[in-house]
Chain A
Amino acid sequence: ELKVEQNPLFLSMQEGKNYTIYCNYSTTSDRLYWYRQDPGKSLESLFVLLSNGAVKQEGRLMASLDTKARLSTLHITAAVHDLSATYFCAVEEETSGSRLTFGEGTQLTVNP
């Protein structure tokens, strides 16, 4: 059974600071997603990482994937309050019809 673990689960940081969220998964997968969710809202797709060594950046967020280490990171640069949300990584199970298995989520709060 595929397990996906994120850490930290809760992150409180000041504006302007940098931090990294980690996502570890337990079985082979070449496809990893990062989603953002605001309270009570839907899941907004941030990044799709399709191969080992993939790196994608959008604004203050950068995601990377190391399939050999089964690790993805979401790096936040110079955080701003608008980034406050819950961030989920999700791994696609190749052998199970492309279902996504989500991590527990990281609740990020950026304080002014």
Chain B
Amino acid sequence: AAGVIQSPRHLIKEKRETATLKCYPISRHDTVYWYQQGPGQDPQFLISFYEKMQSDKGSIPDRFSAQQFSDYHSELNMSSLELGDSALYFCASSRQVAGKETQYFGPGTRLLVL
């Protein structure tokens, strides 16, 4: 079965530009999570969606927004990019079954802000 798909895999942007990252969850998964992993750091939770509604919000800057669409894919929109936004952005998906869910991670999008 296909895993979580993220696009693009690599992205280079200038400061103050905008970026959109896309995530396509595993088939029949209804929950999507976004994490940010800086160089040498552990992943930090940004935001999550369940059935197209925001379900939890972590340390996501106000410059970032996200949504989940009717086909369950999700997009993370990042504006006014800063050098410190350079990181690996992971999307994970899960299926809410009896409250027991494993989050499966996508390959990540590596964002470099110059």
Contact present for B100 and A50 (CB under 8 Å):
yes
Q: Among B56, B90, B110, which residue has its beta carbon within 8 angstroms of that of A99?
A: B56
* Chain B residues touching A, range: 20 to 34
Contact pick for A42, options B48, B58, B100, B107, CB 8 Å: B107
Interface residues of A in 2-44 (CB under 8 A from B): 31, 33, 35, 40-44
- Bound CA–CA A105/B56 (angstroms): 24
Number of contacts between A and B (CB, 8 Å)? 57
Name the prevailing secondary structure of the B interface residues: strand
Interface flag for A100 (CB, 8 Å): yes
Is the CB–CB distance between A103 and B105 below 8 Å? no
Given contacts A33-B102, A33-B103, A45-B105, 12 further A-B contacts (CB under 8 A): A40-B88, A42-B106, A45-B102, A45-B103, A45-B104, A50-B100, A88-B42, A97-B50, A98-B33, A100-B35, A100-B103, A104-B42
Residues of B at the A interface (CB closer than 8 Å) are 31, 33, 35, 42-45, 48, 50, 55-56, 58, 88, 90, 92, 94, 100-108, 110
